[in-house]
Amino acid sequence: MTERPLHCTYRLQLLPHLDFRAARELVPYLRDLGVSHLYLSPAMQARSGSTHGYDVVDPTHLSEELGGEDEFRSLCEAGLGVILDVVPNHMAASDDENPFWRDPLRRAKFFDVEWRTGGVRRFFDIGDLAGLRMEDPEVFEATHAKVIELVREGLVDGIRIDHPDGLANPARYLNRLREAGVEQVWVEKILEPGEQLRDWPVCGTTGYEFANDATALFLDPTAEEPLTELYREISGEERSFGEIALEAKLEQARTTFEPEVDRLAADIAGLDEELDLPRALASFHVYRTYVDPDSGEVDGLDRQAVADARLPPRLAALLTLEERGHDAFVIRFQQTTPPVMAKGVEDTAFYRYNRLLCLNEVGSDPARWSLSVDDFHAGNLERARRFPRHLLATSTHDTKRSGDVRARLAALTWIADEWRENVLRWRELLRHDGPPGGNEEYFVYQTLAGAWPIDDARVDRYLEKALREAKVHTSWLEPDEAYETAVKEFAHRAAEHVAPFAERLAELGERIALAQTLLKLTCPGVPDLYQGDELWNLTLVDPDNREPVDWERRRTLLTELRAGAAPTRETLKLFLIWKTLELRAERPEAFRGTYAPLDRGPDVCAFQRGGEVLVAVALTPGAEVAVPHGWRDVLGGAVPGCLLGIPAT
């Protein structure tokens, strides 16, 4: 099979109700939409009953529950390319199902087991997901033989690497993939704002940076002060996000990751009895450094990250290899900062700091408010130069909120005064004793406004997760169901008051969502669609965003559009995606060509691709995106605030 041109990926979450055969049945619809590649969640044999596929028990076989190898091969031959999600960092520690774990000799060889205790490397805080020793060539070869076989046969065009930061040496691992003939690789690497992806042999990341830039681009910078003051007034929270994040990371390092801290302490026993390892782990502002003790190389970015963490001099010297003799500690420390960051920031602080929830997203810094047009262009130019096949996402299976929900919340900055008036009125109408406190109350209002319409059952599931993740009044380990029930009941009462405002907000949010979608489809990189996101998608974090999709409705609506039906409010995003992907297929060289920013003022983001495609989107409700002389709008003026132009002749 020949490698297919890469125009657009479409992420599918494989489950028993969406197995290889069901995915194959979607191929004609997705091909008509303009998708070039299926981007599949993990497809190797996972633990029985797995709901996500990341708990692999046998990476040498395709999942039997999803249909087995024959069905997978049929899917690969159905007409779209395939990108496969690969999990190199860990496997499920199952005596019954995992042959690598069941055999004591292979367990010692394959898994990162602490010989002094018999425990500790886990995937984050999940005790039954055991870390692999992927730095061992034999482990790499045994666990990757099947996926490399599929790539060499041309059945799989590329792979997405889950959690590369958990590996002892990500660069070496990625180089081994390249040497094995895997040319197209994307990494699920979370970059903090301003952080650069290393010069790895990859196509880029899975697109969190673009999602966050595309949100910040539409925030009104003048709304930061009044909305920050409103949050402080309601919540009583005076601390910065950085202070809250540090507190949460310290909590995680001192509790959840105590076994990992103990192992680090054992690696440097006697070196510095006063060293506060939890604080050191929590002090990093990026997920990790990539110092390589074997080669002795220390990148300038790593030196800067260590300096920014303001570590004790002795520890800083160890982590920058100025002092040698503790290489195992250096590697282990670098593998431990990512879970502390992820659990402390994404899964704790993001649920405690509620100033503006569209900024509480994977890879985002909620302390950063808006992004200028010039800075947005700069990010695109950098991606075009370094990683032209970088994925561009607005919604993924891991985002805290869908792109459409974030767009609505971004629109709050366009009507900040109106939002304030409504919030204060709701507080008066819903005056109550007991839970929720002001911080949680403001979280409820934003959630309802962003995800409306949302029924009580969805609200309850989401609030239970959000409150337990915050770990303030309740948690997964020590749930306070009475507190949770009180917050849920408050949200049910609040919904009827928020609903009229949410309808008004929806119209503004849709303008932003359409503009972000057009940017995703036309900026340098490869656009990625999450399953079902071609229609309005108002989902929250998993499991909310893993619900079955109404594919038949989408097939019907696309068929009608392709037959000439005028787009409606329901189908406007579908229409935009179809028409733009159609243009990408017709003019591939333009989208592989130059990215030329155009100056249309602070309220419009505009650029040309390859000199023959013009894109412009309005960044404020009143901004104009008129069609210039000599150009024609491919969208026919049907999409408000969006222009997709080609030469009129």
The domains of the chain are located at 9-188, 245-350
pLDDT tens digits, one per residue of 21-76? 999 999 999 999 999 999 999 999 999 999 999 999 999 999 999 999 999 999 99
Q: What tokens were used for 382?
A: 């950098």
As a whole number of angstroms, the distance between CA 180 and CA 381 comes to 31
Which whole number is the average pLDDT over 604-625? Answer: 96
pLDDT tens for each residue of 558-578: 999 999 999 999 999 999 999
Residue 145 has pLDDT above 90, yes or no: yes
pTM over cut 0.85: yes
Residue 127 has pLDDT above 90, yes or no: no
pLDDT, tens only, 202-238: 999 999 999 999 999 999 999 999 999 999 999 999 9
Determine the average pLDDT of the residues in 287-297. Answer: 95
* Confidence tier at 2 by pLDDT (50, 70, 90): low
For the chain, the distance separating the N- and C-terminal CA atoms, rounded to the nearest angstrom, is: 38
Is 520 within 8 Å of 527 (Cβ atoms)?
Answer: yes
Share of the chain above pLDDT 90, in %: 93
- The string of pLDDT tens digits covering residues 468-509 is 999 999 999 999 999 999 999 999 999 999 999 999 999 999
| Torsion region of 56: left, alpha or beta (phi above 0 gives left; psi -120 to 50 gives alpha) | beta
CB neighbours of 5 closer than 8 A, spacing ≥ 6?
A: 36, 588
Q: Rounded mean pLDDT of 258-282? A: 91
Q: Is the pLDDT of residue 120 over 80?
A: no
Which phi and psi angles does 291 have, rounded to 5°? -65, 135
Question: Is domain 9-188 in CATH 3.20.20.80, yes or no?
Answer: yes
What's the chain's average pLDDT? 95
**In the β-sheet with 391-392, what is the strand arrangement from edge to edge?**
204-205, 185-187, 158-161, 81-86, 37-40, 9-12, 526-530, 391-392
Give me the pLDDT at residue 116, please. Answer: 59
The lowest-confidence range among 2-6, 243-247, 400-404, 632-636 is 2-6
Q: How far apart are CA 37 and CA 628, in angstroms?
A: 34
Q: How confident is the model at residue 118 (pLDDT cuts 50, 70, 90)?
A: low
Whether omega for the bond prior to residue 543 falls within 30 degrees of 0, making it cis, is yes
Res. 158: pLDDT tops 80: yes
Number of Cβ within 10 Å of residue 178's Cβ equals 13
pLDDT given at position 121: 85
pLDDT of residue 114: 73
Long-range contacts of 273-279 (CB under 8 A, 24+ apart): 275/312, 275/314, 275/315, 277/253, 278/250, 278/253, 278/254, 279/250, 279/253
Spell out the residues 6+ positions from residue 451 whose beta carbon is closer than 8 angstroms to its own.
Answer: 401, 405, 458, 538, 539, 540
Record the tokens describing residue 338, joined without a space: 């990512």
Count Cα atoms within 13 angstroms, Cβ side, for 48.
5
pLDDT for the residue numbered 274: 82
pLDDT of residue 117: 55
Using the predicted structure, report yes or no on whether residue 115 has a pLDDT greater than 80.
no
Model pLDDT, residue 125: 78
